[in-house]
């Protein structure tokens, strides 16, 4: 499965996979679901950005971050701050003591717009901030930790602590962040009302387009030399280091990339759902996002999208009919995905379905060569699997 | 910020906050001890640790109810029985979990993290379905209520003192068990070199199971002690899990002494700052400080040098 003879970064089966996903999201779902349900799918897809980042970061590079919600939140909050400022124009807020600032600031006796809110008056700056603020934050965290060779469980615990800190901070600093309610009552984007049904449908398609763009980026990273170094690093970090690569830099890069992807998801979430709150930042949502990637298959870029859709669909339908069963289901899913099918849906597909489909699309030999779902992490037995698993 | 208080008042504040910090310290130590054994000695991330603690708390609650209804004469002593029951209940559950789940995952620490998180969700929902979503509090026996006045401005609560005393006893017992008993020697041997330990005839699987059970059992006792100072709900355990992991990591994962030192530092920092800042900011600053120190010194405060 070495790809030295190819110049293009997508293999034929990847292109088919992306086309099928695009067809499903762009044609089938909008035609079969009513508007209300389609908005749900749109919301789930914003989590898929996070899962996509986790596939690169966790599946390929072996860095489990339990703080992806922080980046999702940062992206979402950046967007929400812009929208909030737009909806708190002087005439819209003239009943406040200080007109022209967001309502929650007024309630908290803040009389002028805080310094850190100023850039968010501009849409361009906001869009840049959505990508850059989380990436910068990830860079600081990643640089400090990977340079000191902190990895594995320590990294997971510290990122989890960061998620906790961020939530407490957002809730505590009510006047600047909107506190536990978050930033609500968002109305327009550059004068365009985002609350109408038609706007929501358009935003859904924007979200799908962005997601597919991000999937292409992910495939590009995966099939580049960088992607192979990431896999090598995960399986035998020391060997990569002894071969002369600076392991930390690659880790920092993939962590920042995952952060930016999550942030795009967060921003799209704010646009589609119309609010942002700390309940998408903390420990619980962050670790739940890991399960999306795990269920889809931690090594499969497309699997992560299906995993996200499936888990969220299950969550919504269970919560509607048997709310108390959902946590049992989710807990069971965590355990099952670890013990029974560690490579997720993609792994099951690879083992049971793809071999049967193989003759239809060619490339049978390569498919057959992929071993059954072995857990990817432990060297040395699993080290051959990941390269072939996608 | 100190200008508003006289010197004597400041002294009292520090003593009182220090005492509050000591209670927090006791809870941290009790929770972290179990976690330090499981994480430090076995390398297993047990995200369900808080739920084991809550199991202990529920056992204590039901024991107190039982004594209240059937043996009111002995109510003053119920806590000691409850503690033992909590230890065995949480320990037995821990051993079952180890046998069913953890032992298949020793080589994949990140996966244990996910699996135990799943377990914690299941246990939380189980508590909610069985015991109800409301928080429950135990009734303290009369000898544990009230407080002792040290000076005019300084008072210490008896239940706090009791929890502290209990913490010391349990810590000493664990230290003796780990460093003075034959069983502790086996555990440390398995931690340092599993293959060699197996080769000299130690049943490593059994040691693993009992170590995990012991860690969970101590969590149960921690939950028992926790009922003395706070109420218990299905999700109370989750509130402490991040702090506890930071305590263990900050102290240096394999060192019990480090765990105690870091629990002391973190709890004192938090409770002292709590008086001057809002509670949330105190917590943010404490956690942030710990995270930054960990970034600079990833191995934690105390390190045991082991040749691998």
CB B61 within 8 A of CB B232: yes
How close B217 comes to chain A (CA, Å)? 22
What are the residues whose beta carbons fall under 8 Å from the beta carbon of B74, sequence distance 6 or more? B67
Question: Is A149 domain-assigned?
Answer: yes
Question: Is B86 domain-assigned?
Answer: yes
Q: If pLDDT is split at 50, 70 and 90, which confidence band does A1 have?
A: very low
pLDDT tens across the length of chain B (308 residues): 556 667 777 777 777 777 777 887 888 888 888 888 888 777 788 889 999 999 999 999 888 888 888 877 777 778 888 889 999 999 999 999 999 988 888 888 888 888 999 999 999 999 988 888 888 877 777 776 777 776 666 677 787 888 888 889 988 988 898 888 988 888 888 888 888 888 988 888 888 899 899 999 999 998 888 888 778 888 877 778 888 888 888 887 667 788 888 888 888 888 778 777 777 888 888 888 888 888 777 777 776 555 44
Which region among A228-232, A275-279, B50-54, B130-134 has the lowest average model confidence (pLDDT)?
Answer: B130-134
What is the rounded average pLDDT for all residues in chain A?
84
Q: If pLDDT is split at 50, 70 and 90, which confidence band does A361 have?
A: low
Question: Is A373 domain-assigned?
Answer: no
Domain count, chain A: 1
Alpha carbons B173 and B75: distance in angstroms, whole number: 26
Q: If pLDDT is split at 50, 70 and 90, which confidence band does A7 have?
A: low
- What residues of chain B lie within 8 A of the CB of A67, using their CB? none
CB contact under 8 Å between B119 and A291, yes or no, is: no
CB contact under 8 Å between A164 and B125, yes or no, is: no
Question: Is A326 domain-assigned?
Answer: no
Predicted local confidence at residue A308, as pLDDT? 93
Chain B contact for A205 (CB, 8 A cutoff):
no
Question: Is A333 domain-assigned?
Answer: no
Q: Which of B114, B122, B287 lies at the smallest CB-CB distance from A164?
A: B287
Best CA proximity match to B25, nearest among B238, B251, B209, B181: B251
Alpha carbons A314 and A142: distance in angstroms, whole number: 34
How close A200 comes to chain B (CA, Å)? 33
How close B108 comes to chain A (CA, Å)? 6
Question: Is A366 domain-assigned?
Answer: no
Chain A contact for B308 (CB, 8 A cutoff):
no
Question: Is A385 domain-assigned?
Answer: no
Question: Is A127 domain-assigned?
Answer: yes
Predicted local confidence at residue A323, as pLDDT? 78
Query: HEC profile for chain B?
Result: CHHHCCHHHHHHHHHHHHHHHHHHHHHHHHHHHHHHHHHHHHCCCCCCHHHHHHHHHHHHHHHHHHHHHHCHHHHHHHHHHHHHHHHHHHHHHHHHHHHHCHHHCCCCHHHHHHHHHHHHHHHHHHHHHHHCCCCECCCCCHHHCCEEECCCCCEEEHHHHHHHHHHHHHHHHHHHHHHHCHHHHHHHHHHHCHHHHHHCCCCHHHHHHHHHHHHHHHHHHHHHHHHHHCCECCCHHHHHHHHHHHHHHHHCCCCHHHHHHHHHHHHHHHHHHHHHCCHHHHHHHHHHHHHHHHHHCCCCCCCCCCCC
ipTM tops 0.95: no
Residue A236 pLDDT > 80: yes
Chain A, nearest residue to B104 by Cα: A339
Alpha carbons A41 and A30: distance in angstroms, whole number: 10
Alpha carbons B22 and B4: distance in angstroms, whole number: 25
- What residues of chain A lie within 8 A of the CB of B101, using their CB? 335, 339
- Between A247 and A357, where is the model more confident? A247
- What residues of chain B lie within 8 A of the CB of A289, using their CB? none
Structure confidence by residue, pLDDT tens digits, A72-97: 999 999 999 999 888 888 877 777 88
Q: If pLDDT is split at 50, 70 and 90, which confidence band does A3 have?
A: very low
Predicted local confidence at residue B152, as pLDDT? 67
Predicted local confidence at residue A219, as pLDDT? 92
Alpha carbons B273 and B292: distance in angstroms, whole number: 18
Structure confidence by residue, pLDDT tens digits, A179-214: 888 888 888 888 888 888 888 899 999 999 999 999
Alpha carbons A120 and A56: distance in angstroms, whole number: 30
Question: Is A292 domain-assigned?
Answer: yes
Predicted local confidence at residue A198, as pLDDT? 87
Alpha carbons B127 and A364: distance in angstroms, whole number: 50
Alpha carbons A306 and B140: distance in angstroms, whole number: 52
| Domain extent for B199 | 26-237
CB contact under 8 Å between A378 and B107, yes or no, is: yes
Structure confidence by residue, pLDDT tens digits, A25-43: 888 888 888 888 888 899 9
Structure confidence by residue, pLDDT tens digits, A291-327: 999 998 888 899 999 999 999 998 888 888 887 788 8
Domain count, chain B: 1
Return the exposure string of A345-355: e unless at least 16 CB atoms fall within 10 Å of the residue's CB, then b. Answer: bbbbbbeeebe
| Domain extent for A261 | 12-305
Question: Is B62 domain-assigned?
Answer: yes
Alpha carbons A121 and A113: distance in angstroms, whole number: 11
How close A22 comes to chain B (CA, Å)? 31
CB contact under 8 Å between B45 and A156, yes or no, is: yes
CB contact under 8 Å between A330 and B118, yes or no, is: yes
Chain A contact for B158 (CB, 8 A cutoff):
no
User: What does residue A44 show for φ and ψ, rounded to 5 degrees?
Assistant: -60, -40
Q: Which of B113, B125, B291 lies at the smallest CB-CB distance from A324?
A: B125
Question: Is B256 domain-assigned?
Answer: no
Best CA proximity match to A388, nearest among A341, A337, A354, A340: A354
Predicted local confidence at residue A250, as pLDDT? 92
Q: For tokens 């009389």, what's the residue?
A: A111
What CA–CA distances, in Å, run from B230 to B23, B61, B139, B189, B221? 11, 12, 11, 38, 14
């Amino acid at each position: 499965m070495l790809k030295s003879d190819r110049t293009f970064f997508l293999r034929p089966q990847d292109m088919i996979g992306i086309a099928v996903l695009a067809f499903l999201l762009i044609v089938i779902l909008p035609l079969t679901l009513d508007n209300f349900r389609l908005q749900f799918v749109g919301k789930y897809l914003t989590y898929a950005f996070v899962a996509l980042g986790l596939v690169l970061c966790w599946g390929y590079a072996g860095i489990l971050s339990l703080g992806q919600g922080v980046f999702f939140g940062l992206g979402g909050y950046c967007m929400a701050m812009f929208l909030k400022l737009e909806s708190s124009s002087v005439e819209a807020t003239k009943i406040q003591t200080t007109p022209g600032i967001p309502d929650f600031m007024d309630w908290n006796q803040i009389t002028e717009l805080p310094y850190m809110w100023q850039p968010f008056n501009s849409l361009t700056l906001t869009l840049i901030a959505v990508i850059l603020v989380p990436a910068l934050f990830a860079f600081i965290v990643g640089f400090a930790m990977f340079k000191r060779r902190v990895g594995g469980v320590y990294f997971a615990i510290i990122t989890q602590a960061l998620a906790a800190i961020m939530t407490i901070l957002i809730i505590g600093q009510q006047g600047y962040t909107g506190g536990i309610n978050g930033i609500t009552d968002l109305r327009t984007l550059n004068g365009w009302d985002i609350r109408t049904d038609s706007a929501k449908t358009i935003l859904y398609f924007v979200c799908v387009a962005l997601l597919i763009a991000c999937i292409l980026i992910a495939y590009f990273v995966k099939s580049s030399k960088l992607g192979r170094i990431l896999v090598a690093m995960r399986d035998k970090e020391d060997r990569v280091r002894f071969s002369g690569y600076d392991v930390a830099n690659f880790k920092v890069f993939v962590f920042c990339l995952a952060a930016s992807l999550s942030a795009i998801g967060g921003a799209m979430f704010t646009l589609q759902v119309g609010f942002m709150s700390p309940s998408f930042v903390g420990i619980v949502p962050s670790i739940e996002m890991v399960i999306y990637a795990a269920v889809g298959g931690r090594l499969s870029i497309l699997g992560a999208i299906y995993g996200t859709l499936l888990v969220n669909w299950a969550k919504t339908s269970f919560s509607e009919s048997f709310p108390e069963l959902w946590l049992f289901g989710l807990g069971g899913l965590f355990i099952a995905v670890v013990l029974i099918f560690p490579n997720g849906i993609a792994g099951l597909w690879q083992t049971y379905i793809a071999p049967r489909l193989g003759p239809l699309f060619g490339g049978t030999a390569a498919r057959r060569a992929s071993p059954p779902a072995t857990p990817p992490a432990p060297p040395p037995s699993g080290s051959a699997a990941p390269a072939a698993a996608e | 910020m100190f200008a508003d208080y006289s010197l004597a008042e400041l002294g009292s504040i520090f003593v009182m906050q220090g005492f509050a910090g000591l209670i927090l310290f006791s809870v941290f130590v009790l929770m972290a001890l179990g976690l330090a054994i499981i994480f430090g000695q076995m390398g297993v991330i047990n995200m369900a640790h808080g739920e084991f603690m809550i199991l202990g708390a529920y056992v204590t609650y039901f024991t107190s109810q039982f004594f209240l209804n059937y043996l009111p004469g002995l109510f003053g002593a119920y806590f000691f029985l409850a503690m033992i029951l909590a230890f065995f209940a949480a320990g037995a559950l821990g051993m079952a979990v180890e046998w069913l789940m953890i032992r298949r995952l020793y080589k994949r620490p990140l996966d244990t993290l996910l699996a135990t998180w799943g377990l914690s969700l299941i246990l939380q929902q189980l508590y909610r379905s069985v015991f109800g979503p409301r928080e429950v509090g135990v009734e303290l026996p009369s000898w544990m209520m009230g407080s002792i006045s040290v000076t005019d401005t300084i008072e210490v609560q008896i239940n706090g003192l009791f929890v502290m005393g209990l913490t010391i006893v349990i810590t000493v017992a664990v230290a003796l068990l780990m460093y003075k008993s034959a069983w502790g020697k086996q555990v440390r041997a398995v931690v340092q070199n599993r293959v060699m330990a197996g080769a000299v005839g130690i049943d490593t699987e059994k040691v693993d199971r009992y170590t995990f059970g012991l860690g969970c059992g101590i969590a149960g006792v921690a939950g028992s002690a926790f009922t003395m100072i706070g109420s218990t709900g299905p999700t109370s355990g989750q509130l402490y899990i991040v702090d506890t992991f930071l305590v263990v990591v900050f102290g240096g994962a394999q060192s019990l002494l480090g765990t105690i030192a870091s629990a002391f530092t973190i709890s004192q920092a938090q409770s002292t700052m709590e008086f001057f800042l809002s509670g949330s900011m105190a917590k943010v600053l404490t956690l942030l400080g710990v995270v930054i120190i960990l970034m600079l010194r990833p191995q934690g405060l105390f390190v045991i040098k082991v040749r691998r």
